[in-house]
Structure 1
Amino acid sequence: MQAIRVASRFVGAGLLDQVVIATANAANTLLGGILLPKDQFGALALALSVGYFSMYLNRAFVGDVLLALASRFEGEHRGRLIRNGLTTALCSGITTMVVFTVLWLVWPHDGNIDLDELIWLVPFMVPLMLHDTARCDYLADRRPDKALGIDLVWAGTQGVVIILMILTGNESPGGFLAAWGIGATAGATVYLLREQRVPWRGNPKAWLAETRHLSGWFTATAIVAQVQVLAISFLVAGKLSKIELGNLRFVQTVQLQPVQNLVAAIQGLLVPRASRAAADAAKPGAEGADAAATLRRQTRQLALAFAVLGTLMVVIVWPLVSWVLTTTDKFAEAAPLALPIALQGAVYLLQVPFTAAMRGMHRARMLFVQYVVFATVSLTGLSVGASQGLQGAAWGLLTGSTTGLICMVVLYGYALKSVGPPAPTPAPRLDATQKA
């Protein structure tokens, strides 16, 4: 019972942590959309999208690697990885500051694509990168409660700044961006002081040398993911009306965003565990065999659990969202999208255990191949489906997600063949002369 209570607290803290950080990231978009004029909100949304893009690349290059690699080690080896990762994140933040400043200086200030507000993010890119890396440090060390702590500092500080801005009547895109950055600065500062870490004492070259088998492929996968998101918007915009594009994005936000947040939270909990199991599976003898069996059993049981959860989600969420959309004049036309998007969310849930196992086994190249297949089929399905209308576009995206799941399961099965203790080396056979 004690073990169950500890596990419950561990999972609960991890899920709550994801809720808090997702809320902190989404607050600017939601409140900005409510409080700012449309033109100012557009500038805020664009600056945030550029900031998120940079954060996601740093997450792939540093944070995701910590989850998959640092979780395998203790002591000095793990400490060295954290030091080098933090310094790499620091360099990433400084590089982003320079790039953002140059973009702000050279980009036309009177065009349709407005990057004027990007300058507000420049002072905060370093703490944004450090905070994200700190979260992954805690998650890799199986301390989601500590990650929750610094995320609460971020969200609380950001909330105070936004409230002060609203009370003084100074709502602006720059104000929302500064609130986001100040919150991250507070969270990163608490982490550095609590853990007594100095972010410039590591070695980025050593980080790259030790982690390039993961960081390069994780980053390439993240780039493909971001390009796919942008390509979906452009493809839909070229084939459907703005109203139809808005309907698709709205239903995706309502149904898929919570699922994606849940997936991110669960990955942060499962990947370190899978990574340790995969590392132990390489040990000789019974210990390695037991660890390999544990990894297989964990993946199988989780896949079954998420299949049930995905089915329940479709059965409950699909009719509920469809009914709510039907009762509104603004989004009544989007009601038929509820089913394919609910199914797409179920596919994402079912894929979680296999993705976590693949990351734990360090199959970064296979993950990249899987994502390329998923993105290619999704964009093809979207393009073909959109020619038949909005519902066709949604079913085309579901086709891509389903294909991605099948590809992931196949690659997982292939990767399992190399999991387990090495085969014992047979003793050399003696010929008759040697026997004599």
Structure 2
Amino acid sequence: MKDQIEISTLMAGIGAKARDAAGELACASAERKHAALIAAADAVWARRAEIIAANGKDMDFGREKGLTAAMLDRLLLDEGRIRGIVEGLRAVAEQRDPVGEVIAEWDMASGLHIRRVRTPIGVIGVIYESRPNVTADAGALCLKAGNAVILRGGSESFHSSGAIHDCLVEGLRAANLPEAAIQRVPTRDRAAVREMLHMTDAIDVIVPRGGKGLVGLVQREARVPVFAHLEGICHIYVDKAADPEKARAVVLNAKTRRTGICGAAECLLVHRDVAATLGQQIVDDLKAAGVEVRARGLKGSVEAVDDDFGTEFLDMKIAAKVVENIDEAIEHIREFGSGHTEAILTADDAAAERFFQRLDSAILMRNASTQFADGGEFGMGAEIGIATGKMHARGPVGAEQLTSFKYLVEGDGTLRS
């Protein structure tokens, strides 16, 4: 009970500071936010050895916990990935500031002039698992949109996230912005997560980024509104009109480039007319690359069972199935997909249009790897996650998606009759 009281006191203090910081950030100039992000990027690069050393502690912790190779890859930071964090911070810094943007503007016959203008949401709570780069992405995007943020990273990335967070605070300090604008929950205690979910007085929205267990917990228990980022059960459908060379390369990339990210392909669907030829070639390519193909209607590594469809493997595994036609592929995706990302490989415009019209996942692609399901690849600099819900934010959640709006109404002594 004493520990719970201490966690409650800790989180209440963090929430109060975040709410105060949000009030100041809402009025901060674009120039100061830009300066903070550039200074943070410089700090990350200057302190990269310190960050890599902290990450080493997390990697040891992850191995002791028995994390899979894919999960350890999500956790790993090396100089190349730190360079990516720096580039992401700089990219967000250089983006157009969304705060104050006029979304729409019109005049009424009554004499009123009305503007709908972007405004910060307020305080964002971000709960995420292994990937420490989310610390930088979430902090940067929330700051760009004028929001204060409370970051609660996974226990596996505790030290890495702390080192990156220190750099973000250094950036805030350099730009004379409140250090409480980007706060990190300084404990692995899971009670802090449950506390965040109930902080309706301090937090305006929660963004969970992680596996089904985390997202399910947040959706079940949160009293604060949630931008849901559900599983990435991404499908690739190989149509009978697919270009063989392109299809083989795209599927291999979609599965194997990084298996532990939410944009990795988890299910391959192949039109029966090309199953014995192109479909089998693709399966053989995957097997040669070390992927366990759990197949139905194709010669895979093992025979697929029902539970393989609708599973997010996040590993060198993929489900594969032959379908009669594009409509059966669409029905399969509707049944087993998570609303994240689906791709069709085809040279047939009509087939692609049918796929796009009849599916309602957040991201639909044609002749491209699902690994492009990423805010950075969409020109957002970074993302907090891929929102699979349909309210407010959907798809990659960047700075613009982390704003709300208000109406500014001007009259001239205007009276309503």
* TM-score clears 0.5: no
TM-score (norm 1): 0.27
Relative to its length, the structure with more strand (as a share) is 2
TM-score (norm 2): 0.28
Relative to its length, the structure with more helix (as a share) is 1
